[in-house]
């Protein structure tokens, strides 16, 4: 009886995952995974997109210009391939995340005992896709409900000599104007966010500070700050000893 209940629970869980995935229009494939040294090394991004297409998804590379119907970044999934360190065995699994970095689906682990890295990575990635094929993905046409933003990743603590840093005051983030053609979308990173446009292309990199309304910001090699003022975000930096303040529209 217990085994039957366990099987039913597992089936419901799988159906739940499939339904979540089915509500997303397409998948964005990165050009480089964290465990690789270069873009599309061993053709891993190419293999990823090929498998996604075979599984019924619409898929686009991260640097690919996509049709206007996919302009809402939060209606898309973002693929990642993770490596599980193991002795004498290569283990990879696939994650689908939403626009806030929340994991929507995790595949089964694909394994390979090949000693050659290229063969091992390809074999284990293809094996990981077996569970994705089993989802029988088909876009439901249901718009994804507005997601609750995941709690930001805590940055590494900064050593402060003989001082206590006061707790940051909670500040309401400026409301994004979704009709703005220059709207940027925030994706969580280890120490902050990266702001991408609809291409998608990384436009600005943000590093968290002790204040929720202020970030260290890097844009086109220029370092400044991104600050919330008057219900707007502003990228501020110095140029020829003059403070430049540039309005930025951001959806966190």
**At 111, is the pLDDT very low, low, confident or very high (cuts 50, 70, 90)?**
very high
pLDDT at 205: 92
Each residue's pLDDT tens digit, 172-222: 568 878 788 889 988 888 888 899 988 888 899 999 888 888 999 999 888
Query: How far is the C-alpha of 48 from the C-alpha of 77, rounded, in Å?
Result: 13
Output the six-digit token pair for 196. 């991408």
Lowest mean pLDDT among 132-136, 145-149, 197-201, 216-220: 145-149
Q: Which residue has the higher pLDDT, 94 or 200?
A: 94
Instruction: Lay out the sheet containing 242-248: strands in order across.
Output: 242-248, 232-239, 222-229, 214-219, 202-208, 192-196, 184-188, 250-251
Q: What predicted TM-score, i.e. pTM, was given to this entire model?
A: 0.56
- Measure the CA–CA gap between 93 and 17, rounded to whole angstroms: 16
pLDDT exceeds cutoff 70 at 149:
no
Give the pLDDT of residue 158. Answer: 31
Mean pLDDT of 87-105: 91
- Is the pLDDT reported for residue 235 higher than 70? yes
pLDDT in tens, 37-61: 999 999 999 999 999 999 999 999 9
Report the half-sphere exposure of 8 (CA within 13 A, side-chain side): 5
Residue 68: the pLDDT is 86
Beta bridge partners of 219: 204, 222
Q: Which pLDDT belongs to residue 146?
A: 61
Strand runs labelled E in 85-221: 90-97, 103-106, 110-112, 184-188, 192-196, 202-208, 214-219
Helix (H, G, I), strand (E, B) or coil at 216: strand
Backbone Cα Rg of the chain:
21
Q: Which residue has the tokens 């040294």?
A: 37
Residues 47, 92 contacting (CB under 8 angstroms): no
Which residues are CB-contacts of 250 (< 8 A; sequence separation ≥ 6)? Answer: 174, 176, 183, 184, 185, 186, 195, 226, 233
Q: List, in sequence order, the alpha helices (H) in 75-204.
A: 117-133
Judge contact between 56 and 24, C-beta under 8 A: no
Q: With 70 as the cut, is the pLDDT of residue 94 above it?
A: yes
Whether residue 40 contacts residue 32, with contact meaning beta carbons closer than 8 Å, is answered with yes
**Residue 1 reports pLDDT greater than 70:** no
pLDDT at residue 110 tops 50: yes
Domains parsed from the chain with CATH numbers: 2-133 (3.30.160), 151-252 (no CATH)
């Amino acid at each position: 009886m217990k085994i039957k209940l366990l099987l039913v629970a597992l089936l419901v869980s799988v159906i739940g995952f499939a339904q979540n995935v089915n509500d997303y229009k397409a998948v964005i494939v990165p050009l480089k995974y964290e465990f690789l040294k270069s873009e599309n090394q061993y053709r891993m991004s190419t293999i990823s997109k090929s498998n996604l297409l075979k599984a019924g998804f619409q898929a686009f590379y991260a640097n690919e210009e996509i049709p206007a119907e996919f302009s809402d970044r939060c209606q898309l999934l973002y693929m990642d391939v993770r490596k599980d360190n193991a002795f004498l065995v290569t283990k990879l699994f696939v994650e689908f995340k939403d626009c806030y970095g929340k994991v929507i689906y995790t595949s089964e682990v694909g394994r390979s005992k090949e000693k050659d890295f290229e063969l091992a990575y390809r074999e284990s990635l293809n094996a990981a896709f077996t569970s994705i094929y089993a989802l029988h993905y088909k876009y439901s046409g249901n718009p994804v409900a507005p997601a609750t933003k995941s709690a930001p990743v805590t940055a590494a603590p900064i050593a402060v000599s003989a001082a206590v840093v006061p707790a940051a005051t909670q500040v309401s983030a400026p409301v994004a104007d979704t009709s703005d053609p220059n709207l940027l979308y925030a994706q969580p990173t280890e120490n902050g966010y990266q702001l991408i446009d609809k291409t998608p292309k990384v436009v600005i990199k943000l590093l968290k500070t002790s204040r929720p309304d202020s970030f260290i910001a890097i844009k086109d090699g220029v370092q400044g700050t991104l600050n919330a003022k008057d219900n707007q975000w502003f990228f501020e930096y110095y140029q020829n000893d003059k403070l430049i303040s540039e309005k930025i529209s951001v959806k966190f």
